[in-house]
Structure 1
């Protein structure tokens, strides 16, 4: 099993700010590259359009103006002009391409120089028959074939494009720095406001650690990211506080249980010790010695019964090993009724059993122990002279064995408390009374069978019900009651 990785606890605020600024800077770089490429292409396209216009205007003047005059007019606009005639003669005007490359650049798009207007085509003029654009970063050259077979070569300087782009780059760089500074300030404010709920989470966590267990976040928008985190933290805090309360309650119950168990054991042990001491120290004969010996036996039996109950309760908590078999529940109830009549002859025991068999999958001895505990509890509260009724009836997917007596009854507030360990409604601890483990043991055994023992409302006396699942519904009952068992 790999060791858990430590949580990366770097500053979320710093990482968020740096990440946002990095994205903004990358977008500005991409924007600058796009602007540089688009503007350079646009400026170069303007020069190419200008050369095409000049070539078209020149084609319209072929045959009207001689080649020398035409070359002078074109060169006056800052262009290098070369006209190669069809008969091999050539006319060159204006600066040479090398001069254009090294000369200071004019406007990026060029324009007329010396106040001379460019030639304009006349109506019906003959246009360029063929053209070819070439060039490099500093020059743009257009070669056109005119209608008379001569070749016109126009060359314009593109150096102004580089200078214009350099100026635009500086402007973009300065603007990008300003944008980054403004973005950094805005991001810091936004991130600080956005992450403020995390500071509230930390404050609540420290307050709870300091003892304020009722503090909660209670997010106003639980569907958001921080809202989900806050809701999960509130749920975790509820579980932790609930577990803490449950642990403290369990500790208190354990202390009370140990105190009550020690109290219950102390009485018979003290009686055994006193009787044994008397038997050892005093020279007794006859009835007195037999009385003390009988007292030792009774107290030892009482202590042994209490220890057996405590051990059984521990096994119930750990999980009983049941010997489950299909059994007719009527036989178990009838056998317990017969046993009660023998043990308590002064008590009236009545049964109300169905005519048909009631097959259930149970551990017969354990269920008989549950019924015995319930009947003995009824006999104890009626001093062995009351009336006890045992009956079987169906409740939905379960079958219930009811044990009802005509004793003083149980108030509503105590109907669940009596199932706690070592709890007795009669505060006087007499040797005839129980120790308060019969009902908890009965419920534990019933829940081990995926059933339960309940204290039901009754018009007179107390009414208990042993509820067991029928065989057809036992898997579903087990799944639904596994936690309770």
Structure 2
């Protein structure tokens, strides 16, 4: 079923309102037009009354002869039948009433009565001032309210629906087509290489399907722009990092005469480049592909013991230098391989920047549906302005935190891997404490899990 803000409901409601508007306007205008054309207008009544006043004046001043001249002039001027009669239906002019004239007198109507059916020539009477004598005449065509009936019917039945249809089309265009035009224009701009193209609030702020499409386009464009910029920077930094081992190889090839020493140098530099390229490719893969890792409940204490065992073997630290201060029942929902690699990178970074006799602690507690973990080293910490810089690719703060190696990719890989599992990684460096790596991971269901 379409949602409350779906275009389906907007279209249904719009069409229903349009149909109701058409019907109501048609009925209302038909009624108004009929009423306007069924009775005489005020100007028509005044004109007929003026004719009666002129006839009365001619009768009083010139008698029958004057009345005859006025009626003859009125008939010729208005092309109508006209007579002046008394209350007994007797003609006051010299022209007597014939049978057809008497028949007309049976169907005369006052000025406030309706005109009658279309096509007819209604006959009206206008009384003189004494009330007994009246002017009886056909309604002149120029005073007939039905004279423009055909034009009005054409306007009401043809022009008005057409105008409303144009209005509906304009509204539908603004509602449905205009956002698609904006989307097409921005898509063409994006395909032309302008990665800053966005749909913007006019479309993206809508709550219907077109708004969802606009937001999806903006998200895609932002991700594409970020990915391209990220990969360009990664490629630039990678090329810069490769110059050092390549330069050493060239120097060794040109100046080293001992084959054994040269071979050892080659093995060392090639291993460095292999690790550098491998880490760079992994970081680019995580950022561009954004894989969906299969999650499972992982017992954190077992994973920690495995990582500590490997760290002790690699660095010579003792188990006592690694402290686990989390509830041993802690379960996190994550991908085992990806999470192990991320925590291993964090652990190696903490060991690298801690003194030989220092310690690394893993603390944490359950906060709602997430485990909030903190990996704390024994180093001097870093300045606040570098707390985000350390997560950038190839970022090394050797001057701020003395260390002995690394390409500056471990923390970037760890942040990307944790983010792809629904978690978050950030750093803090409180005064008087080592660097704290905060990890937020979804809690797993209570179940037995072996690492």
TM-score, reference length from structure 1? 0.50
In structure 1, runs of 5+ residues without a counterpart are: 1-23, 44-73, 81-93, 111-135, 141-157, 181-197, 199-204, 219-227, 474-485
The aligned residue for residue 164 of structure 1 is 139
* 1:450-479: CA deviation from partner (whole Å, max 9, x where unpaired): 222221343311011232211249xxxxxx
| 2:293 corresponds to 1:338 | no
1:358 CA displacement:
2.5
CA 1:321–1:311 in 2, change beyond 3 Å: closer, same or farther? farther
Q: Does the 8 Å contact 1:392/1:402 carry over to 2? A: yes
| 2:269 corresponds to 1:269 | no
CA distance in 2, matches of 1:440, 1:240: 27
Q: Does the 8 Å contact 1:138/1:159 carry over to 2? A: no
Q: Does the 8 Å contact 1:327/1:359 carry over to 2? A: yes
| 2:369 corresponds to 1:367 | no
1:265 CA displacement:
1.7
Q: Secondary structure at the match of 1:403?
A: strand
Q: Does the 8 Å contact 2:37/2:145 carry over to 1? A: no
Q: Secondary structure at the match of 1:295?
A: helix
The aligned residue for residue 407 of structure 1 is 379
1:336 CA displacement:
1.5
The aligned residue for residue 349 of structure 1 is 321
The aligned residue for residue 78 of structure 1 is 89
1:305 CA displacement:
0.7
CA 1:139–1:77 in 2, change beyond 3 Å: closer, same or farther? farther
Q: Secondary structure at the match of 1:471?
A: coil
CA 1:322–1:35 in 2, change beyond 3 Å: closer, same or farther? closer
The aligned residue for residue 185 of structure 2 is none
Q: Does the 8 Å contact 1:344/1:384 carry over to 2? A: no
**Structure 1 consecutive aligned stretches of length 4 or more whose deviation exceeds 6 Å:** 26-30, 136-140, 170-173, 228-232, 235-249, 427-431
Q: Secondary structure at the match of 1:434?
A: coil
CA distance in 2, matches of 1:247, 1:355: 41
| 2:448 corresponds to 1:447 | no
Count how many residue pairs are aligned between Structure 1 and Structure 2: 311
| 2:448 corresponds to 1:471 | no
CA distance in 2, matches of 1:322, 1:139: 91
CA distance in 1, matches of 2:311, 2:223: 40
* 1:101-123: CA deviation from partner (whole Å, max 9, x where unpaired): 7x9x9x9669xxxxxxxxxxxxx
* 1:166-188: CA deviation from partner (whole Å, max 9, x where unpaired): 24237986xx99xx9xxxxxxxx
CA distance in 2, matches of 1:137, 1:321: 85
CA distance in 2, matches of 1:308, 1:230: 39
In structure 2, runs of 5+ residues without a counterpart are: 1-24, 46-84, 111-118, 124-133, 156-173, 175-181, 183-188, 190-195, 447-451
Q: Does the 8 Å contact 1:271/1:296 carry over to 2? A: no
1:241 CA displacement:
9.6
Q: Does the 8 Å contact 2:382/2:400 carry over to 1? A: no
- Within 5 Å, give how 1:50-199 maps onto structure 2: 77-79=88-90, 95-100=97-102, 160=136, 163-164=138-139, 166-169=141-144
CA distance in 2, matches of 1:452, 1:319: 15
| 2:271 corresponds to 1:298 | no
CA 1:230–1:296 in 2, change beyond 3 Å: closer, same or farther? closer
Q: Secondary structure at the match of 2:422?
A: coil
The aligned residue for residue 313 of structure 1 is 283
1:268 CA displacement:
1.7
Higher relative contact order (CA 8 A, sep 6+): 2
